[in-house]
Amino acid sequence: MSNETAILPESTELTDGFHLIMEALEMNGIDTIYGLLGIPVTELGRLWQARGNRFYSFRNEVNAGYAASFAGYLTKKPGVCLTVSAPGFLNGLNALANATTNCFPMILISGSSEREIVDLQQGDYEEMDQLNMARPYAKASYRINRVEDIGVGVARAMRAALSGRPGGVYLDIPARLLGQTVDAVEGGNSLFAPVDMSPAQLPAPDAVARAVELIKGAKKPLILLGKGAAYAQCDEQIKALIEETGIPFTPMSMAKGLVPDTHPQCAAAARSLALKESDVVVLVGARLNWLLSHGKGKTWGGAKKFVQIDIQANEMDSNVKIDAPLVGDIESCVSALRAGLKGMATSTDWTGALAEKVAASKSKLNARINTATPAMNYANSLGAIRDVLKNYPDITLVNEGANALDNCRMIVDQYLPRRRLDSGTWGIMGMGMGACVAAASVTDKPVVAVEGDSAFGFAGMELETITRYDLPVTVIIMNNGGIYRGDENSPAHQVSCMLFNPATRYDKMMESFGGKGVRVTTPEELAAALEASIKSGKPTLIDAVIDPAAGVESGRIGNLNVVSQIGKK
């Protein structure tokens, strides 16, 4: 019982909400928290570090939340973000919603005002009904009101974040709870770690048989890997399925490296042809959302049949008919497919046509990369980055922007799973610096971020976070001086809304935080600076000045940008 409802003997050893929350998190395997401290959770951060745990303190809660979400993706263990109430909670909610959309396991813990004041709208400090605000954007939302419920509250948050389709969970902590006391033995006994939080879910035998029959009958099968396949961490099973069947594959961006981009069956460089010409497509941890044109239209070239592996049954038929739904966890489904497809051989006419297109596309791309230009462009600058990173396959590459994202995804190869973090399902800007901290803290290996100058601006102050913790992070700014490009004409009365200050020196910004800043203008300088920064293991920013005319409107999604036709002929 809490000290508000019982009087305990003076000899009783007590514990409180602070310590029970920390003990519950530790019991569930959490040793790292990302966040930004203030009233009422300041002491929770101090006590957490005093116990020997890690706390990464950010300059904005949204970036701490992104770090927690990417840590969850990389580890299959919920990343935890801690924020203050109201405005701090709202910043964290942005990242929580993104985690839920991307199926990243994450727990957002926020201090909050007391219910009796919030519910009567009496104007408490940072008053906000946070629990109900979080519900539409989280997989689950819980509030712990009594100290004796901390154990079950944390356990429910952990299970909700991990079970089935992973996602973001909000855990509301009223300020009064932290100071509540209880008998230490009783409090300790109330804590537990849930058993088997993410159990295997086996696909039905008849569903497996249906999928096997459809795939075996295909003349032009294709396997499409999504980031869910990378999250599943059954890398060898997926690689074996691809190699045993001979089916070509193409990865979504965060699935790059699950099977190396240089693998002979990788059809990424022939993606358009593969999607249009395939007759049976096996979706492994990928959803037919906007990133895949919803499974229809010109991208897909007409009718085809789909096999979809997903742990959530209601994902099936979300855009087009799924002919062979496989509901279950990815490892169990892939294992079942391997057994059923044993001895299958894919037509060499199909694989040969794709290989020919891949070779032609790569030859054309390499010609662009190797073409000298008066000012660096995306092709030759990213080509220089590619040539350095191929010697460091275990580096995590973080990537965001419009043109910086599209071109980097196409040019820079990945060789190992879960070594690429990017803007994901929502295509968000500003995730890069949080992802850098997450990757460095989880892998203890160097991280390289390729950032559009616009995307970097959303979270640039986190350079201070990176230098404060002395993380082995290299940030490369693709600096063309504007949103999409930096050569737009300005109206007479004001600077164009698409342009940045041409005098900006991102390298000097990094130096002001005590890191290494380098400004480069050629592919050779860029390669040398990147090599040196990786070897140094020190926080570095490379300001890569590229042609202001480099880049196109909205990257590859220009069709989504509505343009006024008034006054045009």
Tokens describing residue 254: 């965060």
Domain co-membership, 273 together with 155: no
Last residue of a domain, one of 326, 355, 384: 355
Q: Is residue 4 part of a domain?
A: no
Q: Is residue 363 part of a domain?
A: no
Q: Is residue 387 part of a domain?
A: yes
- Domain that includes residue 549, residue range: 370-557
Last residue of a domain, one of 355, 386, 405: 355
Nearest to 318 by CA among 304, 329, 331, 306: 306
Domain harbouring 541, CATH code: 3.40.50.970
Low-confidence ranges of the chain (pLDDT < 70): 1-11, 555-556, 567-569
Q: What are phi and psi of 264, to 5 degrees?
A: -60, -20
Question: In the chain, how many domains are there?
Answer: 3
Domain co-membership, 401 together with 530: yes
Domain co-membership, 56 together with 159: yes
> How far is the C-alpha of 556 from the C-alpha of 552, rounded, in Å?
8
Q: Residue 69: helix, strand or coil by DSSP?
A: helix
Total Cβ atoms within 10 A of residue 468: 16
For residue 69, CA distances in Å to 62, 150, 237, 269 come to: 11, 22, 25, 30
For residue 7, CA distances in Å to 145, 151, 180, 217 come to: 19, 22, 12, 73
pLDDT at 8: 61
Q: What are phi and psi of 529, to 5 degrees?
A: -65, -40
pLDDT at 416: 98
Domain co-membership, 341 together with 465: no
pLDDT at 7: 62
The alpha carbon of residue 486 and the mean position of all alpha carbons in its chain are separated, in whole angstroms, by 28
Domain co-membership, 335 together with 460: no
Domain harbouring 213, CATH code: 3.40.50.1220
Last residue of a domain, one of 189, 224, 253: 189
Q: Is residue 3 part of a domain?
A: no
Domain co-membership, 290 together with 212: yes
pLDDT at 1: 41
Nearest to 532 by CA among 336, 430, 392: 392
Domain co-membership, 300 together with 336: yes
pLDDT at 559: 72
Domain co-membership, 402 together with 532: yes
Q: Is residue 564 part of a domain?
A: no
State the maximum Cα–Cα separation within the chain, in Å, rounded to a whole number.
87
Domain co-membership, 498 together with 388: yes
Are 266 and 259 contacting, i.e. CB atoms less than 8 angstroms apart?
Answer: yes
Q: Is residue 78 part of a domain?
A: yes
Domain co-membership, 20 together with 168: yes
Domain co-membership, 43 together with 75: yes
> How far is the C-alpha of 407 from the C-alpha of 401, rounded, in Å?
10
| Kind and range of the H or E run holding 112 | strand 106-112
Q: Is residue 365 part of a domain?
A: no
pLDDT at 444: 97
Q: Is residue 248 part of a domain?
A: yes
> Looking at this protein, which amino acid is placed at residue 123?
G
Domain co-membership, 212 together with 324: yes
Are 519 and 543 contacting, i.e. CB atoms less than 8 angstroms apart?
Answer: yes
* 8-state DSSP, 136: G
